[in-house]
Structure 1
Amino acid sequence: MQATGVGRTDEYRVVAPRVSGETVDPERFHLAEWVVSCLESRGAARPGPAAVAALAERLTTRLLSRGELAFREGDRDAGVWIVRSGRLELAVKGRARPLIVQILRPGGVDGDIQKLLGMPFPYRARALEESECLTLAPLDFEELLGEYPEMSRLWMSTMAERLSESHDRIVGMLGRTLTQQSARLLLDEASGGVVDVPQQKLSEMLGVCRPSLNKVLKELEGHGLIRLRYGAVDILDPYGLAQRAD
């Protein structure tokens, strides 16, 4: 589930506190601040330095090469993952081809809901490019939320927001034409006016064959709403595209 609020850490950066008689490594503390900024929610206050330091002590950095698996379907002990850089593709096995559930970008969080519900991952995660992730082991995640109520409130609030966004996205796709679904997907996946996802991946996200999607994209391009190029789609008229999505 994708988190929001990326890129707002510097304004909150403070001196790393002392925990258990030792000063937390400043770089680790800065990473923890970044994670907290990604979790920021309308419904919870920002945790204090002690809670951020506790998060910093528990974070582990994982570097993934392109195509490397972060976790598999059925995994129960993969812990919580936060994408620091790069992208992770979440996908399940389909009858003919994989079905992409979501693409996690920097600031994206996954695994927390599965851990709290005691359920295995229903999909696998694979790095689309060289990626850096921050992870929390299952026990560390439980201890963090149990010992620091302000961190727990923040995490629960952001999970509720992500679940609400996913629900709205699913409902928004029901009963829509492929043109409407494609336009909505492009708007949801765009960053800086660019959808850096190949058409094959987009078709897998919609659960349709590539020729069907390509036909729709060509129509949208013909109306001047988008521009197709290798491995990406440029959004030229977001307002017009939003009208096609409704």
Structure 2
Amino acid sequence: MWTLPPDLARDLAPESRKLLTDLPNRVVPKGQVLFRAGDLAQGFVIVLSGRIEVRLTAASGREILLYAVEPGESCVQTTLGLMGDEPYSGEAMTASEVELVLIPRPIFARLLDSDPGFRAFVLRAFGQRMAELTQLLERVAFGRVEVRLAEALLDLAEGELVQATQAELAARIGSAREVVSRRLEAFARQGWVSVERGHVRLHDPEEIRRLAAQAM
């Protein structure tokens, strides 16, 4: 038996709580695709630990990281698929080992209809996700690339090291790899970073932090 997230458990009816906690949890290794564009949602995922990343890929091959799903968060594409019968438009992959529970579609529909607490949880999580996607759209449409890149470097840094390729950084900020490469070269000329194969080393995180603060 697994433990419900507090935000979900708070308002659930006792019978709904038992129905959910009786569902099996499973561990999915890093790098596994959970759904692809065109797939239909099979159920609602609750993440207990780890991180899932949802990306959108254009016909040109360019990617953008739409959002990540971590414990206590939901996948807006799955919610749309279950509530509106819409196929997935993006792809979800585990960015780390993930422990999760899948609420099958019939149980999800039943709880959505019968339990106001469950319905409130789903709609609240959906609203938060839509707000985050709107913020992403604003940053991509109106934010400067170098500011978004500085934010991404700080978010991903473990100490002074960012374990990410230029293509991964480009997907994260909604830009092209070539653009990220030019911006990193500019950062390197100023002594802020050095670029090595598969990662970026931060030499002056304070300057990068000052640049990232311009997004606020």
TM-score category by the smaller chain? 0.7 to 0.9
Aligned to 1:204: 171
Q: CA deviation at 1:122?
A: 0.9
Instruction: In structure 2, list runs of 5 or more residues that go unmatched.
Output: none
RMSD: 3.4
Q: CA deviation at 1:192?
A: 7.7
Paired with 1:197 and 1:82, the residues of 2 have a C-alpha distance of: 27
Summarize the Cα distance change of 1:82–1:202 in structure 2 as closer, same or farther, 3 Å threshold: farther
SS of residue matched to 2:42: coil
2:207 matches 1:242: no
Structure 1 range deviating more: 156-165 or 207-216: 207-216
Aligned identity (percent) is 20
Aligned to 1:56: 21
Residue pair 1:64, 1:70 contacting (<8 A) in 2 also: no
2:129 matches 1:171: no
Q: CA deviation at 1:141?
A: 1.0
Aligned to 2:104: 137
Matched residue type, 1:79: G
Residue pair 2:12, 2:115 contacting (<8 A) in 1 also: no
TM-score (norm: length of structure 2): 0.75
Summarize the Cα distance change of 1:55–1:223 in structure 2 as closer, same or farther, 3 Å threshold: farther
Paired with 2:85 and 2:124, the residues of 1 have a C-alpha distance of: 19
Paired with 1:232 and 1:103, the residues of 2 have a C-alpha distance of: 22
Paired residues in the alignment total 208
Residue pair 2:82, 2:105 contacting (<8 A) in 1 also: yes
Paired with 2:168 and 2:194, the residues of 1 have a C-alpha distance of: 17
Aligned to 2:128: 161
Matched residue type, 1:212: V
TM-score (norm: length of structure 1): 0.67
Paired with 1:191 and 1:49, the residues of 2 have a C-alpha distance of: 42
Q: CA deviation at 1:151?
A: 1.9
Paired with 2:70 and 2:201, the residues of 1 have a C-alpha distance of: 20
SS of residue matched to 2:142: coil
Measured against aligned partners, the alpha-carbon deviations of 1:13-65 in whole angstroms (never above 9, x if no partner) come to xxxxxxxxxxxxxx32x2x2x3x44x69xxxxx314614333323x4424333
- Which residue of the other structure, out of 114, 120, 128, is the alignment partner of 2:95? 128
Paired with 2:47 and 2:129, the residues of 1 have a C-alpha distance of: 15
